[in-house]
Amino acid sequence: MSKYKSSKKWVKEHIADPYVKLAQKFDYRARSAFKLIEIIETLKINFASNKIVVDLGSSPGSWSQVMRNKMILPNGNINGRIIALDILSMEPISGVDFIQGDFRDVEIQEILKNTLYNQLVDIVISDMAPNLTGIASADSARVQDVCELAMSFSVDNLKSNGVMIVKAFHGAGFSQIVHLYKKFFKKVVEFKPKASRDRSSETFLIAQNLK
């Protein structure tokens, strides 16, 4: 299939996608918002008390929007804190602190920790995905690197009863990622939301309660 036909097919599917229409209806910046909404509902996360949330790979901001909507009070304030980080720019979201930088950069990680004021985090969410090459061995290493970075941050900064939600991809190296997560968390489950495209190999790891 030519690039033109492939692009035309993608546009047609995108326009017809029910989650794209829902995102437009509810003013979410991307359809991926509904992946996180389903995960939150499945986990039954309680937002009654103050939560500190870190959103890694946040741009364009749909996951931060979901968290804001879950944490917003009647007076418009946020019941807790949301800190978002991405190498790409992100349009401001009321109540969300944004750091632009490469999460792989140690200096950016320090800025993030300083922004937390040395407080531990309740929830880490990560929709980060590396640029894939189509070469299985290289892509597997890149995915594993991103998942390990997110896990390392979570192990250092999550509360003992904290939750981590991270995007991963089935394929070479996936079982090693799951095994690694199980070393540090008491409960690790795989979850593929309905909003994930059928042909996509993406899945989400939900890790709870540090060991």
To the question of whether residue 102 is assigned a binding role by annotation, the answer is yes
> CA-CA distances (angstroms) from residue 73 to 26, 113, 183?
18, 26, 37
Closest CA to 69 of 43, 94, 38: 94
In the numeric block, the tokens 């590396």 are attached to 130
Burial class (CB in 10 A: 0-12, 13-18, 19+), 35: buried
Q: Are residues 145 and 76 in contact, defined by beta-carbon separation less than 8 angstroms? A: no
The answer to the question of whether 63 is labelled as a binding residue is yes
The separation between the first and the last C-alpha atoms of the chain, rounded to the nearest angstrom, is 49
Just list the catalytic residues: 167
Binding residue per annotation — 10? no
Q: Which segments are annotated as binding site?
A: 61, 63, 86, 102, 127
Q: Which segments are annotated as binding site for S-adenosyl-L-methionine?
A: 61, 63, 86, 102, 127
